[in-house]
Every structure is written in C-alpha cells, then in structure tokens.
Structure 1
Amino acid sequence: MRRWSRVVARSALALLVVGGVASPGSAAAAAKPLPQQWWFTSWGVQDRLWPSSKGQGVTVAVIDTGVQSALPDLSGVVLPGMDAEGGGGDGRTDVDRTESNGHGTAMASLIAAQGRGTGLLGVAPNAKILPVVAQSKPAYAKGIRFAAGRGAKVISLSQAVAGPCPADLQEAVTYALGKDAVVVAGAGNDGNGSNSSMSPANCAGVVAVGAVDGQFRPWAKSQRQSYVTVAGPGVQTSAILRDGKVSFGNGTSDATALTSAAVALVRSKFPNMSNREVVQQVIGSAMDVGPRGKDDQTGFGFIRPYRILNGTVPKSGANPVFDAYDRMAKNAQKTEAPAAGDGPKGGADMASVIVLAAWAGLGAVLIVVMLFVVMRRRKKGRPAPVGPVPGATPSFGAPYPPQGPGPHGPGPQGPGPQPGYQQGYPQQPPQPGPPHGPPHGSPQGPPPGGLPPQTYQDIPQQPPQ
C-alpha cells in the first residue's frame, strides 16, 4: 500500500548524516533522525516522547511481506515470526520482489529502525518486531492469530484488499482483541479513484488510519470511508528497503506503521492500560485536521501521542472503534442464540412438555381406576358406563389444553428482527485549540517539495470546509 515516489536512495545528504551521527554499532539513543523524517518534529519524538517511552517491552507484529532482519538498521530487533502463505520461513526475510522492493522491511524500519546503517530511526526503537508474511485475507487471519498468541500488543497491517471483512478475518480480529492487542490497519490508497471499502480496515475493532502530509493536509489518495478512525504521517515519508537503501513514499501504509509505533510507546509506558483504553486515548488525542468533526478521510484527526503520554487526554472520551465492535459482537450472539420456540430447548416449550407429561400421568391413573370400576360392575351384573368417566383425560382427537401464554401474556416467542450492524461512527465535537506560545524546537528541514512541518504545539485548527 506504499506509493513510492522513487528514487531517493542513500543520497549524499543521507551519507553525511550517517557518517556524523551513526557509526556502525552506535546505540540508537545516540543517533538523530534524518532531516526528512518530519514526523519527529511534528510529534516531538526526541524531546517529548522518548523521555517517557521508547517502546521497551512491547512487541509489534508487522503483517506484510516479511522483514529483512540482517540489515544493520534492524539488527537485534526482529524476532522469529512465520510465513502465513505457506512459504515455510520465519518472516525474517523480506519476500517482496515488486516495485516496493521490501514493503515489510520499510514498515518495520518506520517502527523500530536503529539508525546504524542509514541513519534512519524508528519512532519506537526499543520495541521488538514480530514479522509475518501475509498477502491475502486468509493469511491475514492466520497472521493475526499467530501474532496475538505470541503476545504482540500491537498488530500492524499496512495492507488493504477491496471488499467486506470476511468472517474468518473478523474472528481473528476478535481473537486478538481478546488477547489485549491493538489492531491497526491502513485505510487504503485509492480514495480519489474507486474508493472501495477495504479490509482489514473495515473489520470491527480495527483502528483504520488515513494519511496526511507535514502540514496535516489529507493525502489526496487516502480512502474516504466511514471506518477511518485517525490519521498519521503518510506523505513524503522515508523508509528503508530490503536492499538497505532509503526511499521516499506516500501512503496509508506508512501512516499505519507510524501510528502503530506511537501506540507501542503508549503501551510501553502504560503496560496495565487495556487495548480498549489505549484506543480511546488515541482517538481522544487526535487534532481535527479535515472538515469540522469526524470526517471520512482523516477520521477524528491527526494523532498526538504526547498528549497520551503526559496524561492530558480525558479517560471518559468516546471510543467508537470498540463501540462498533461491541455492537457487532452483541448482534452475533443474538444470531447464534436459539429461539425460545425452537423445540424443547425453549423455556415455554419445555414447560409445555412438563404439563403434558403430568396430564398423561393423571390420565393413566384414571384409566386404571375406570377399568377397576367396570370390572367390579360386570361382576355384579351392572352395565358399563357409555360416556367418559368424570375427570378422565380427553380421548384422541379432542384438543389439548392451550399451550404457552394466553392473550394477556408475553408476545410471540423468540427474538424479533435485529438491527443490522452499523459501522459508521458518531461525529466528534470540535477539538480545543493547541496550547499558546512559541513552538518547541526548530524544524529539522522540510519534507522534499513541501513546507516546513508543523509541530505538536503550533498545529492550526483548520476552518470548516
């Protein structure tokens, strides 16, 4: 899902930066991000995020094309994973041979690159990467289950396939949420084209991410769908390919990986915060950057992880992602539950069976008594009775007593029609403006062809469109 601008690869500038700040074997803590990594300025990564968290203790699953773990920038970061497509590997070799030339490696570098080879740094350099090779919906489902079972607290899917969320994929997401994972997926890259609904982004419980540039303007190709939750950096983003070179690209893939890295920082600092609470905090941190309120291209807006780490996001805010998931799960339970009138398992029918059994038992006793009386009268020469014995059960063909509740009791048994699952999210009220005062720090250089990036403190509120 990454749209490569190609080809800015290991430029003289990058080599100068590498030589100056990241000699082989140097710690990531001593390195500085490349000048084109504008999100470091926008988020205040070095001076505001890293003093609180670098992602230590958190595993981020990257479900993609695998990760080239032998690269110096990813040395010691990548755990053994799996090939969900049946290739037999452990995910630590990137199998991408397309124009992207290492999509999974690029996503992993945005999350946890160490700056040892190219100078490029990930937002969560102390996190671990669990690589999963998966390029189809069935493989996504297998990969999500694998990652959740291995303890990944963040599952990142920079993937998008047109069509509704299939049942096995939704079940895998449900399994991961039950394991306390946060599932993040790209919204899609054809918003200015067919603008199809994409999975896994449209699966219930998934944080779907759109893309914005360094001025927080929505990327033209970012999907316009009601499932979009938030937006992240996704325009003129630099990442490392499987051959170890740096390249620029655009896409919701990059926005997804960087958002996953920010979530890893939160999960590292607050290990006891549930996935449900983390998602609520991510949504609550967002700054409205599109049309006023929640919109279909940037969701609730550009996420601001610093607000989560410093505790300024209210804990009582809305959580439409899990609200939608809860509705889906509730409707699924109602669909699977047996109707009250379907056979003996229904409560009213079981009561009817018990009543019938009691009547049958009483009838049998009365028949025995009647036979006894007839036999005694025959012995005495009296005629046998021609009508039913008073109190005896009706003969075959007579109606049984009415079953179930009468006209004044409850209505028809069994649940009525259930409302369909609605995936749309409620509109968010306008967000308060950012703190006043000068921006913290100076920009480290604009993204190529763009304006200097805004920082987390001088983000302007965009007027309604």
Structure 2
Amino acid sequence: MHRRVWRRAVPLVGALTLTHSGALLPTAQAEDIQSRQWYLDAMRADDLWKVSTGKGVTVAVLDTGVDPEAAEIRGRVLQGKDFYNTAPDAWRDTNGHGTNMAVSIAGSGAQGGLKGLAPDAKILPVTVIKDKVSIGGGKAAAKGIRYAADSDARIINLSMGGRALGTDRAEQEAAVKYALSKGKLIFASTGNEGAERVEFPAAIPGVVAVGAVGTTGKVSKFSNTGPQVALAAPGEEAPIHCTESSGKYCEGEGTSVATALASASAALIWSKHPDWTANQVLRVMMDTAGHNGPVPSKYIGYGTVRPAQVLLEGKGDPGDPDVNPLLAARQKESPKPSASPDTAKKQDSKDSQSHPQKEKAANEADGNGTLWIVAGVGGAIVVVVGGALALRARNRQAG
C-alpha cells in the first residue's frame, strides 16, 4: 500500500523555498539504480553517447550548491561561487537538490550510481538558495545569472521558480537579458503546482520554460502550464539521492528534473556542434521536439525534447545564428479572438490527452517504443526549487 503525502509551505515574501519530491526505493531496486532511469532508454542514451557525451560544454547549475565529492560527478565540478552565503565557492550543498540536478546532467554512473544524460559535461555550481527557507534569495538568483553569463558556461540551468515582484523581478529580467546577450541558453522550471501559471524566471522572455511529462508521454499533473511553456522533458519516477538518508536512493519527480534533462540535451547537441550559437541549438530542439496537435501547447510548448532526432537522425535546421527562435516565435503569434469557455475547455482536453495513432507514429519516427515523446501532454520574490510556490511533495512509501 502506498501513502501520498502533500506538503504546503507558507508563501514568504523575499524567501526562496526548496522542494524535493522523493520516496525511498526498495533496496533491490537501489542496487541496480541505473535500470530505474527509464528516460535514458526512452531518449536512446546508449546510442547518443556514441555520438556525443557533452564533452567541452559547461552547464551552470544555479541551485543549492553542488557536492564535488558525490561519486557520479567527481572531477566534473568546477569552482563556482556562492551568492547566498557569500562563501568563496559553491561546494556546499546542505539540501542535496543542486547535487541531484548536477548528477542528472553529468553523472558518470561511477560505483553503480546514477548516469547523467550528458556524462562528460562540466558543472559550474552557483549557489543562490539554501536549505528549506532562504531569505532574500531573489537578488542572489539575479547575481548568479550574471555570474554564469560572464563564465565559460554555455548553458544556465535553473531548476527553480517562484513569483517575482517589484525590483527583484526587474533585476532578474535584466540579468536574463544580459545572459542572452552573452550567448547563453537558459532553462528554467515551469513550477510544480499544477497551476495555469508559469513561475519566474521561466516566465521571463527568452528563458526556455520546461514542463514535465511522465512515462506514458502525458504532461505531469503537477507541471504548471501557460503560454510561456517552451519545451518538456521527463520529470516523473526519476531516481535521485535521498536528501535525508545518505547512501540511499529515492524516486523523485518535478519540473526540476525535467529542466536538468533539457539542459543535458542541449549539452549533447552543443558538444557535437560546437560552432552553433545558443539560438541554433534551441531552434533544432524546438524543431525536433515530440508533439501532438497544435504548437505551442500550454502544456509542453513545442514538444518533448528528443536529442536523438538531432544527433542520430540529422534532423532540425539550425537556421539563423543571430535570431532567438523562441522570441521570434512569440512575436509572430498574432492576437486571436478569445475562444468561448466551452471551446477552450474542449481544446485543452484535446491537447492534454495522447492520441494512440499519433503516439505510435511519433515513436516509430524516433526509433523507440517509449511513449513519453508525445504531446498532450520595492519588491520581493518567492522562489521554489522545482518551480512551485507552495511545496508539493509526493512521497510513496511501501508499507
């Protein structure tokens, strides 16, 4: 029997709130943890790694810090910086969230541990949040984005989100604009409330807002939706290191994981095509994303990331190196007459459900039989790692 636990955090002005969803996996499963990483098979990781492993690409992980001694990422973590505690580096992670995101991106699988989708990528840790409630983190996030923009990192991963108001919102928007001007590719979580609202910084123009899908290919119930959603990636039943139980694994879920896998997908593509700009990497990701029905969808944007389409099938047109495809697409979307409530509900229902025949066609095109690739699937800031303003943790415990 499984027990579902829901937790809610009181919204705090000027606070950053962490969320980690994870239920302890049985010992037998933990002994072969890589077999639990279903999304690696779905994304044809073994074939991808014959073409690209993310080598030569650095991903800045703006989070709770990263533990460089974690077996899977040992030797992959750069010095970094702590903007929350003003420490000299970001090699401290008292929560574990940042380390888990780094492992999802660049884990080597050492000592039978977890494999990252881009195992040879480097991680630049940037601490902008700490523990369960961190006061004043909005400004730290903006400073972290600017720091990452001035670094050698090509990709900025923000597995967090929240409601931004006033000056903190303006500072984050300015930081994002600066990072884009420096040629960076920014991924951020849409949120974990299941609400029709994309959190900040994912809602900022130019940021790739990432939603989550499950093993069936449908959008996850917890994944926030909205017109800013750009892409989606697997975000359910993902093994992670337990944050409260050393040496054990938990089953994680959230748009945090989805964001990390989207960043890792970009790292694989950029490693293979180092001369491409961020705009070109993003364009091929959007062009080759798995979707069903009209795009962009408020659930998964332009679709679920499919790096195999780019690296193994040679699909996707990189196009103009100087034009941001996400911003360009938004500008082309002309205002349309508002649909009646009944029409909107019917369309939302259609978008959120998978179509068996189209699922089959999409899977055959991608060369695998896993269904996750289809669609349907004076101020202050409140930020939640994983993208939720109110904590939403789904713990499954055997008993």
Give the TM-score normalised by structure 1. 0.64
SS of the aligned residue for 1:160 comes to strand
Question: 2:81 matched to 1:57?
Answer: no
Structure 2 counterpart of 1:322, from 319, 324, 327: 327
Distance 2:197 2:187 in 1: 18
Shift in CA distance, 153/88, structure 1 to aligned 2, threshold 3 Å:
same
Match of 2:111, SS? coil
Counterpart residue type for residue 7 of structure 1: L
| Residue aligned with 2:101, SS | helix
Determine the structure 2 residue equivalent to 1:393: none
Q: Give aligned-pair identity as a percent.
A: 35
Equivalent residue for 1:103, pick from 97, 109, 113: 97
List gaps (5 residues or longer) in structure 2.
1-17, 130-136, 336-354, 378-399
Equivalent-residue separation in structure 2 for 1:79 and 1:140 (angstroms): 19
Which of 306, 309, 313 aligns to 2:308? It is 306
Partner of 1:255: helix, strand, or coil? helix
Structure 1 residues without counterparts, runs of 5 or longer? 18-32, 97-101, 328-418, 421-429, 441-452
Which residue matches 1:215?
A: 216
Match in the other structure for 1:367: none
Correspondent of 1:253 among 224, 234, 256: 256
* 2:236 is aligned with 1:235: yes
Q: Report how far residue 314 of structure 1 moved.
A: 3.0
Instruction: In structure 2, give the amino acid aligned to 1:38.
Output: W
Deviations 1:186-212 (A, max 9, x none): 0011124xx444111011110000000
Corresponding position: 1:114 with 2:108:
yes
Cα deviations across residues 200-250 of structure 1 (Å, max 9, x unaligned)? 101111000000001111100111111100110001111234644321111
User: Corresponding residue for 1:132?
Assistant: 126
Determine the C-alpha separation between the residues in 1 that align with 2:324 and 2:284: 8
How do residues 422-437 of structure 1 correspond to structure 2 at under 5 angstroms? 433-434=361-362, 436=364
Which residue in the other structure is 2:268 paired with? 265
Partner secondary structure for residue 34 of structure 1: helix
Could you say which residue in structure 2 is the equivalent of 1:8?
Answer: 25
Q: Relative to 1, partners in 2 of residues 1:67 and 1:244: Cα closer, same or farther, differing over 3 Å?
A: farther
SS in 1 for 2:36: coil
Alpha-carbon contact 1:109-1:240 (below 8 Å) kept: no
Are the counterparts in 1 of residues 61 and 101 from structure 2 also a CA contact under 8 Å?
A: yes
Q: What is the deviation of 1:66? A: 0.4
Are 1:155 and 2:83 matched, yes or no? no
Q: SS state of the match for residue 117, structure 1?
A: helix
CA distance in 1, matches of 2:65, 2:374: 38
Shift of 1:294: 2.1
Q: Distance in 1 between matches of 2:181 and 2:306?
A: 26
Instruction: Say if 2:68 and 2:77, in contact at 8 Å, map to a contact too.
Output: yes
Q: Which residue does 1:296 correspond to in 2?
A: 298
Q: Are 2:15 and 1:87 aligned?
A: no
Structure 1 position 437, deviation (Å) = 8.3
Contact 2:304 2:375 in 1 (8 A): no
**Closer, same or farther: CA 227–12 of 1 in aligned 2, 3 Å:** same
Pick closer, same or farther for the CA change 1:53–1:2 going to 2, 3 Å.
Answer: farther
In the alignment, the residues of structure 1 paired with residue 222 and residue 274 of structure 2 have an alpha-carbon distance, to the nearest angstrom, of 35
| Counterpart position of 1:281 | 284
Look up the SS of the partner of 1:434 in the other structure. helix
CA distance 1:34–1:141, change in 2 (3 Å): same
> Contact 2:53–2:119 at 8 Å: present in 1 too?
yes
- Tell me the amino acid that sits aligned with residue 23 of structure 2: R
Quick one: which amino acid aligns to residue 4 of structure 1? S
- Which amino acid in 1 is paired with 2:61? V
- Classify the secondary structure of the residue corresponding to 2:126: strand
Greater shift, 84-93 or 108-117, is seen at: 84-93
Paired residue secondary structure (1:284) = helix
Cα distance, 1:146–1:436 mapped onto 2, change above 3 Å: closer
Distance 2:93 2:80 in 1: 12
Which is higher, the Rg of structure 1 or of structure 2? 1
How many Å separate the matches in 2 of 1:460 and 1:7? 29
The question of whether the paired residues in 1 share the 8 Å contact of 2:149 and 2:178 is answered with yes
1:86 deviates by 3.3
CA distance change for structure 1 residues 2 and 248 in 2, over 3 Å: closer, same or farther? farther
Q: C-alpha separation between the residues in 1 aligned to 2:365 and 2:226? A: 35
- Residues in 1 aligned to 2:366 and 2:174: alpha-carbon distance in whole angstroms: 48
Are the equivalent residues in 1 in contact too, given 2:219–2:376 (CA < 8 A)? no
With normalisation by structure 2, the TM-score equals 0.74
How far apart are residue 181 of structure 1 and its match?
Answer: 1.2
Whole-Å Cα distance in 2 between the matches of residues 123 and 297 of structure 1? Answer: 23
**Contact map agreement 2:300 2:376 (CA 8 A) in 1:** no
* Equivalent pair of 2:288/2:309 in contact (CA under 8 Å): yes
Residues in 1 aligned to 2:156 and 2:260: alpha-carbon distance in whole angstroms: 10
